[in-house]
Structure 1
Amino acid sequence: MTKQDRAVRTRLALIRSAAEHFESRGYVRASLAEISAGAGVSSGALHFHFVNKAAVAEAVEHVAARALRRAASRSRGGDGCALQRLVDVTHHVGRLLRADVVVRAGLRLNAEAATGRVRDLRREWRECVQELLAEAERKGELAAGVPPHRTIAVVLAATTGLEVLSRDDHGWLGRHSLTDLWHLLLPCVAAPHVAVALDPAGSGPHLVEPDTDADADADADAPQGDTDRAGLALR
């Protein structure tokens, strides 16, 4: 293993350890000593990669944002049904949050603005939902009299609520919860000829967990400290 490979592995281990401690203890209570010990490295190794705890938290947010961006990008473009792609992306994001502590911790840190965030992941999620529902309206997929802006509000409230509830019980973001949500919503918002073809359980593969921060290249260009702040959009 080269020196560069070891450095990448150490950085990823520190990010995962930080995410675990941020999730279990919160940003304020988590210490750099705990994070370095959890990664199996010295405090000096931690400070080689991160100047302070805020820089570690920013790196966690960065990896989470990258994973969420990949999930959102799968829903954009193509000729398929926009409503089905909206259903599918909620399931994919749900699987991301269940599977990866880094994504969970990064989204929570971002929502709580723990580090003076430079990106707003919930705003970007709103833009993703808004874009897909606007496309659904253009394609005639929405039921007559259904205002897109109200549908956006309902979807955002429901998905954000499930994410908050899942902090104590990851089952809230399980496939069954999201499927139940879409079973209730789709008959109300989808045009009848579209609704019959929609799958509330999602149309993509569900048995394989999505790629997350486990890939070394997922964090190859992550911020190195407070002076390197690169925002990511879910676009």
Structure 2
Amino acid sequence: MAKQERAVRTRDALIGSAAEIFDREGYTVASLTAISSLAGVSNGALHFHFASKAALAEAVEAAAVLRLADVTGAAPRPGERRLQALVDATHRLAAALRADVVLRAGFHLCGESARPPQEDLRERWRAWVEEAVRRAEAAGELRPGVAVADVVAAVVAATVGLEVLGARDTRWLSAATVTRLWRLLLPTLVPSAPAPDLAPEGSRPL
């Protein structure tokens, strides 16, 4: 059992180290030697767990998918507006991208031209946003004439843009930046503005 636990710790350390290197240097430049050194293990130990750099990238992506599920998986509270759940999720995403290098690396790997992603986090996020907006439409929360596709395009373009910019300057991922985004968007989405029951700064503590 102790040997299995050690193997799990080593594998997790390698995934974390790979995420840091991919996030900092990109997939193409990242070296297995740098990853194993950062994890504090030998190259042989790395190859025991991962046959290649591509296999390591796939493991980082798979771990990032779980992190993204944590961001999008919060159940709505009784009486909570569907749009508020979307606003809150964008705040959680920005906070997670600031703090979690595995999630950042998972998104970063989506944009790498050197290899097709096995798990496209940006597409997963787009699909979740579309589902959230459709729920808001079904609940009558969107202004008449506002198309779901237009809302999805605006929210995804804005949030993925913040993710890309935030990779080099975390101020783009600040709560204040996300709040300003929603202060701009919400009046165009809801039937009446201002909407006092919608909190662009988020309604849940992070």
Q: TM-score, normalised by structure 1?
A: 0.82
CA shift digits 1:156-212 (9 cap, x unpaired): 111111111111101201111000100111111112278220011111112xxxxxx
C-alpha distance after superposition, 1:2-39 (max 9, x if no partner) = 11111111111111111111112111111111110000
Deviation at 1:79, TM superposition (A): 5.2
Q: Structure 1: which 5+ runs fail to align?
A: 207-235
Consecutive unaligned residues in structure 2, runs of 5 or more: none
| 2-structure distance, mates of 1:192, 1:61 | 41
Contact preservation (8 Å) 1:111, 1:120: no
Q: 1:201 to 1:127 in 2, by over 3 A?
A: same
Q: TM-score, normalised by structure 2?
A: 0.93
RMSD: 1.9
Aligned residue for 2:180?
180
- Residue of structure 2 in register with 1:55 after alignment: 55
Q: Which runs of 4+ in 1 moved over 3 A?
A: 75-79
Structure with greater contact order relative to length (CA < 8 Å, sep ≥ 6): 1
> Is contact 1:83–1:136 with CA below 8 Å preserved after alignment?
yes
Counterparts in 2 of 1:63 and 1:179: CA distance versus 1, 3 Å: same
| Cα pair distance change 1:12/1:114, threshold 3 Å | farther
Distance 2:119 2:79 in 1: 30
Give 2:140's aligned residue.
140
Q: Bigger shift: 187-196 or 101-110?
A: 187-196
| 1:1-235 alignment runs, 5 A limit | 2-74=2-74, 80-112=80-112, 114-192=114-192, 195-206=195-206
Q: In the comparison of the two structures, how many residue pairs are matched?
A: 206
Q: Percent identity?
A: 50
Does the aligned pair in 2 maintain the 1:165–1:172 contact within 8 Å? yes
Deviation of residue 76 (structure 1)? 6.5
Q: Which amino acid aligns with 1:98?
A: R
Provide the residue aligned with 1:214 in structure 2.
none
